[in-house]
């Protein structure tokens, strides 16, 4: 398959398609579940929440409460998490010029997972399992993610001064394995926390209100602002460091900024959802194949379609085995593993 030349600018119709996908996924995510709701009634109930709009959705009081108090916060959280994972994946693929790069392969999410597991295990030992938890987990996740990035760079530079994308990617794989080993050790030493930690590791979007959404929102806004403002630099980096310098870009500085922003978004997503794999590979690469290869197009559309993808996946996780839930990572792996093989076979042609 030959590389597809993408449009130089983001087209309005592609944004509209992405927004339509987000809207459809949100309505489906709210309508589906152990209690089925009519999609039309859900749409009217959502419109009724807008200022100045008064509509009768036809839903009962109990059904309306399910929409506004239970499912809507969860769906919004899924949209944010999916957008961040897809945006981070697209960013790392651009920085490392490799379609197999995503936050999990580079050790960012594993670092966040290790830090959060340590917090949960410590609180289980001390008996303090609730106080301050919503604030400590995101801080721990972000610290672990940033630490993983720094460790990856140190390992990548240990063989010499050159930090090629391939070297850093291999270093990320090694760091990820190391951090996963540490996480396994903590679980073995704290067997009483295995059930809770494994439920978190499997990925979940359980939320009892808007707290997690509001907690994650500042990280989302900051990550979006930094990455989208620097998305043109990813197109310049794709031609190589020497050419980028000739065009007035500082390659290493741009990489640091983009990696830090992607680590922030990943840490925020992991802290509220656990480890959900393959979103960072599947969505950006699918956008590349359909809409074009420029990052001015890939990154904004990856956010939209990543949000829709995870919201639909969460709806399937709640519905397929109701009243129990399937871990989201199981479903994303069923989609992502075959797609990973496809990307692996075509990566040499896609990224030369």
For the chain, give the percent of residues with pLDDT over 90. 29
Q: What is the mean pLDDT of residues 216-235?
A: 92
- Token pair for residue 317? 């996780």
**Lowest-confidence segment of 152-161, 252-261, 263-272 by average pLDDT:** 152-161
**pLDDT confidence of 128, banded at 50, 70, 90?**
low
Q: Averaged over 78-100, what is the pLDDT? A: 90
What pLDDT, on the 0 to 100 scale, is given for residue 17?
Answer: 95
Judge whether 215 and 146 are in contact, CB under 8 Å: no
Cα torsion 80, 81, 83, 85 to 10°: value is: 160
Q: Can you tell me the distance from the alpha carbon of 53 to that of 328, in angstroms, rounded to the nearest whole number?
A: 35
How much is the average pLDDT of 43-70? 87
Domains of the chain: 12-350 (1.10.3470.10)
Rounded to a whole number of angstroms, the distance between the first and last alpha carbons of the chain is 13
Q: Which residue has the tokens 């399992």?
A: 129
Question: Does 138 have pLDDT greater than 80?
Answer: no
Task: Give the confidence band of 164 by pLDDT, cuts at 50, 70, 90.
Answer: low
- Count the Cβ atoms, other than its own, within 10 Å of residue 230: 18
Residue 81 pLDDT: 95
The pTM assigned to this predicted structure is 0.87
Distances (CA, A) of 106 to 95, 103, 286: 12, 5, 20
Mean pLDDT computed over 154-179: 77
Q: So what's the pLDDT on residue 310?
A: 96
The pLDDT tens digits of the residues spanning 299-346 come to 999 999 999 999 999 999 989 887 888 989 999 999 888 887 877 777
pLDDT tens column, 227-260: 999 998 888 887 777 777 777 788 878 888 898 8
Chain centre distance of CA 328: 12
Length, in residues, of the chain: 352
Rounded mean pLDDT, 161-177:
77
């Amino acid at each position: 398959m030959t590389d597809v030349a993408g449009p130089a600018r983001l087209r309005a119709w592609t944004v509209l398609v992405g927004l339509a996908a987000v809207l459809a996924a949100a309505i489906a995510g709210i309508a589906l579940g152990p209690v089925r709701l009519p999609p039309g009634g859900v749409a009217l109930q959502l419109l009724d929440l807008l200022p100045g709009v008064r509509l009768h959705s036809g839903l009962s009081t109990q059904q309306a409460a399910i929409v506004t108090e239970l499912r809507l916060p969860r769906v919004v959280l899924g949209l944010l998490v999916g957008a961040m994972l897809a945006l981070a994946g697209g960013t790392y693929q651009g920085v490392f010029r490799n379609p197999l790069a995503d936050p999990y392969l580079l050790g960012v999410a594993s670092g966040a997972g290790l830090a959060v597991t340590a917090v949960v295990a410590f609180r289980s030992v001390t008996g303090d399992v609730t106080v301050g938890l919503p604030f400590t987990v995101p801080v721990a996740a972000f610290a672990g993610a940033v630490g993983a990035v720094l460790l990856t760079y140190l390992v990548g530079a240990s063989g010499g001064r050159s930090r090629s994308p391939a070297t850093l990617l291999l270093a990320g794989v090694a760091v990820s394995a190391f951090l996963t080993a540490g996480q396994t050790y903590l679980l073995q030493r704290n067997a009483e926390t295995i059930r809770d930690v494994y439920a978190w590791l499997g990925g979940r979007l359980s939320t009892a209100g808007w707290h997690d959404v509001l907690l994650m929102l500042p990280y989302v806004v900051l990550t979006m602002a930094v990455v989208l403002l620097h998305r043109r630099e990813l197109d310049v980096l794709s031609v190589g460091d020497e050419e980028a310098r000739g065009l007035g870009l500082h390659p290493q500085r741009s990489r640091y900024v983009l990696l830090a922003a992607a680590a922030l978004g990943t840490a925020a997503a992991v802290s509220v959802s656990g480890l959900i794999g393959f979103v960072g590979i599947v969505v950006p690469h699918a956008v590349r194949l359909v809409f074009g290869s420029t990052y001015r197009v890939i990154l904004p559309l990856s956010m939209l379609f990543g949000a829709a993808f995870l919201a639909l996946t969460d709806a399937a996780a709640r519905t397929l085995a109701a009243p129990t839930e399937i871990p989201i990572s199981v479903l994303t792996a069923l989609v992502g593993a075959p797609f990973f093989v496809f990307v692996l076979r075509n990566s040499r042609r896609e990224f030369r």
